[in-house]
A and B are shown apart, each in its own frame.
Chain A
Amino acid sequence: MATTIGEPNAIAISFFLAFIGLALAIAIWAARKTRSTEHFYAAGRAVTARQNGLALAGDFMSAAAFLGNSGLIALYGYDGYIYCVGGIAGWPIVMVLIAEALRKIGRYTFVDVVAFRLPHPSVRITAALGSLMVILFYLTVQMVGAGNLIRYLFGLPYEFAIFVVGLILLAAVLLGGMIATTWVQIVKAVLLLSGASVLGVLALARFGFSPATLFDAAAARSSTAVLAPGGLLSDPIDAISLGLGLMLGTAGLPHVLMRFYTVPDAKTARTSVAYATGLIGFFYLLTFVLGYGASAIVGREQIVAVDPGGNMAAPMLAELVGGRAFMGFIAAVAFSTILAVVAGLTLAGAATLSHDLWVNVIRKGRAVEHEQLIVGRIAAVSISLLAILLGIVFKGQNISYMVGLAFAAAASANFPTLVLAIYWDKLTTAGAHASMLVGTVGTLILIVLSPAIQIDILKHATAPFPLRNPALVTVPLAFLAAVAVSLLWPDSQEDRFADLQQRLHVAAE
């Protein structure tokens, strides 16, 4: 059966419009409830554990996770799953080391926690810049993904798609802040999990509902090598570097960390992580079925013929097992996935610009509520416009690879300082600066010197730095910089550490 992907599909566009309508309705409904910064950035701290679990899963499961990873498994076999298992392995770290600490110590951003421990304003500036780097990296990935996918899924032009995504997310974030963003995430997570589950069941139905029989069929259609690693990542050190970056980067993503402020207390925060991890784990296991299912039912040649990156594997599978209408639904689900992640990132960026930099650094914490809300909304507009611009500038970049880099940036720039600020009594202001600068600048420099830029883009014969993902070097360097500088130039902040520990381990009376 010939695919109709890439042609304007009335059913797909109807679902697409329905989701836009729903997102706008949520935004208008949430606008009426958004009266303070606590509503705008933290949804009034009234989100339940189950809701936050779904919203966390929604924030984390990007289009790259749905379309990218299943496509990688379909084309390259097992290696596509590394992106999944790396992400899930980061969640116990979020649970054990970070979720409660954020809820008990911070206010709106993870930078709050670092700034509580090390109150010098310069720390907040450096932490905010690291956070913004990660947000912009990830935002670029999502926007490029959005443009490409809408072009393939709905037959609409790339730039038009970027503008549509930018404007809808702007409306959602501007009007409804975190309340709208949370509900968009919840709707998206439910759509994504149910859509992918139905797709998985329809694919499994062709193989007697046996995953192993489906995997065997995928191997029979190409080779048993697809069931083993090695199809995508041939360099072992690069595979380890990517694995480390994915695991630790999960615990440093600003838009995910921000969600812990939306719940009423630490107990709800940790319960929500358990929900999120279960949902994400289930979804990732489904990715095996979707990826190998596409390989077995659609065939690699057909998938590559539509998109060389393999991103259309899941929608093509949907068309073959469920017909055109179901493919339209899956396409709309993919679109909702992007929109929700972009909304979460935009809000995290707005919080960093307005709460961290404007309110706490420039206005030294003296901004009144009304001013904070106005600056927050101006920041949201700025980030949305930047997102549109980045989406157009970086058109054509490889999405899954860039996701790996965004995680490496989060793992190097944010994670070491956040963990050391909470758990190491000897961390100093200079140590935190050193760590964040080494993490941020080191990541950027090593990416520029990597084969991905030097060989693939600039067409040089060799690259000065051999790894495509820098996390294996930059994460240890960021930790080392913090420890070395703190020990060489001690600067007692132990009373702040004791305060932080007291807040973390003793409930307010």
Chain B
Amino acid sequence: MSSSDDRTRDRASAAQSRARAHWRVAVTILGVNSALYLTLIVLIAYAKPFLGRLIAPGLSLAILFGAIVTVCAWLLTLVYVRWANAFDNAQGRT
């Protein structure tokens, strides 16, 4: 087999391995993000009194949960950047 065929095969297998790794990370990050966000939205829709409970004067569960979802969305983007940069560096790509 020619070296050009080898290279094409290597590239295809590298693409497949990154695609699989990417899919695992994507499902995890989007799973956590959606679970947090959709839980908040469903609670907003159906459990208003629960979210209205005060955990300190002026601080309701709704505000706390809203802030947590906001901060977690940002942290999840950082997790992805870290994963993607580490994976691509390990594969010797820019």
In residues 13-45 of chain B, which contact A (Cβ within 8 Å)?
Answer: 14-16, 18-19, 22, 25-26, 29-30, 33-34, 36-38, 40-42, 44-45
Q: Is A265 an interface residue, CB under 8 A from the partner?
A: yes
Docked-complex contact A502 and B11, CB < 8 angstroms: yes
CA distance A240 to B37 in the complex (A): 11
CA distance A277 to B59 in the complex (A): 24
Residues of B within 8 A of A236 (CB): 45-46
A93-B33, A247-B37, A277-B73 known; A507-B58 Cβ under 8 A: no
CA distance A78 to B59 in the complex (A): 11
User: Number of B interface residues, CB 8 Å?
Assistant: 52
Q: Which of A89, A502, A504 contacts B69 (CB 8 A)?
A: A89
Docked-complex contact A227 and B19, CB < 8 angstroms: no
The distance from the CB of B76 to the nearest CB of chain A, in whole angstroms, is: 5
In residues 46-94 of chain B, which contact A (Cβ within 8 Å)?
Answer: 46, 48-49, 51-52, 54, 56-60, 62-63, 66-67, 69-71, 73-74, 76-78, 80-81, 84-85, 88, 93-94
Q: Which of A81, A92, A96, A214 contacts B66 (CB 8 A)?
A: A81
Q: Is A224 an interface residue, CB under 8 A from the partner?
A: yes
Q: Is A375 an interface residue, CB under 8 A from the partner?
A: no
A96-B30, A228-B62, A236-B46 known; A505-B73 Cβ under 8 A: no
Residues of B within 8 A of A430 (CB): none
Residues of A within 8 A of B63 (CB): 78, 81, 215, 227, 288
Nearest residue (CB) in A for B82 is A274
Q: Is B12 an interface residue, CB under 8 A from the partner?
A: yes
The distance from the CB of B32 to the nearest CB of chain A, in whole angstroms, is: 8
Docked-complex contact A227 and B44, CB < 8 angstroms: no
CA distance A91 to B38 in the complex (A): 15
Tally of A-B Cβ pairs under 8 angstroms: 168
Residues of B within 8 A of A216 (CB): 57-58
CA distance A210 to B17 in the complex (A): 49
The distance from the CB of B16 to the nearest CB of chain A, in whole angstroms, is: 8
Q: Which of B15, B19, B56, B77 has the most chain A CB atoms inside 10 A of its CB?
A: B77
Q: Is A225 an interface residue, CB under 8 A from the partner?
A: yes
CA distance A284 to B45 in the complex (A): 21
Docked-complex contact A224 and B30, CB < 8 angstroms: no
CA distance A93 to B76 in the complex (A): 10
Docked-complex contact A228 and B52, CB < 8 angstroms: yes
Nearest residue (CB) in B for A239 is B45
Nearest residue (CB) in B for A227 is B60
Docked-complex contact B18 and A89, CB < 8 angstroms: no
Fill in one digit per residue for A216-245: 1 if any B CB lies within 8 Å of its CB, else 0: 111100001101111001001101100110
Residues of B within 8 A of A445 (CB): none
Docked-complex contact A89 and B60, CB < 8 angstroms: no
Q: Is A198 an interface residue, CB under 8 A from the partner?
A: no
CA distance A88 to B26 in the complex (A): 17
Docked-complex contact A243 and B41, CB < 8 angstroms: yes
A88-B70, A229-B48, A240-B41 known; A96-B94 Cβ under 8 A: no
Nearest residue (CB) in B for A234 is B48
Q: Which of A214, A267, A281 contacts B71 (CB 8 A)?
A: A281
CA distance A199 to B76 in the complex (A): 29
Q: Is A433 an interface residue, CB under 8 A from the partner?
A: no
Docked-complex contact A506 and B15, CB < 8 angstroms: yes
Docked-complex contact B77 and A85, CB < 8 angstroms: no
Nearest residue (CB) in B for A225 is B52
CA distance A285 to B48 in the complex (A): 20
Docked-complex contact A281 and B70, CB < 8 angstroms: yes
Residues of B within 8 A of A506 (CB): 11, 14-15, 18, 93
CA distance A267 to B82 in the complex (A): 10
Q: Is A454 an interface residue, CB under 8 A from the partner?
A: no
Docked-complex contact A92 and B29, CB < 8 angstroms: yes
In residues 230-278 of chain A, which contact B (Cβ within 8 Å)?
Answer: 230, 233, 236-237, 239-240, 243-244, 247, 265, 267, 270-271, 273-274, 277-278
Fill in one digit per residue for A180-216: 1 if any B CB lies within 8 Å of its CB, else 0: 0000000000000000000000000000000111111
Docked-complex contact A78 and B60, CB < 8 angstroms: yes
CA distance A149 to B24 in the complex (A): 46
Docked-complex contact A96 and B59, CB < 8 angstroms: no
A78-B60, A501-B19 known; A224-B54 Cβ under 8 A: yes
CA distance A11 to B75 in the complex (A): 40
- Pick 26 A–B contacts, CB within 8 A, sort by A: A79-B44, A81-B66, A85-B69, A85-B70, A89-B34, A91-B73, A92-B33, A92-B76, A92-B77, A93-B33, A95-B29, A214-B58, A215-B58, A215-B60, A216-B57, A224-B52, A243-B37, A244-B41, A273-B81, A277-B77, A278-B74, A281-B74, A284-B70, A288-B66, A501-B19, A505-B22
9 A-B pairs with least C-beta separation: A228-B52, A216-B58, A236-B45, A243-B41, A215-B58, A227-B60, A212-B58, A505-B18, A89-B37
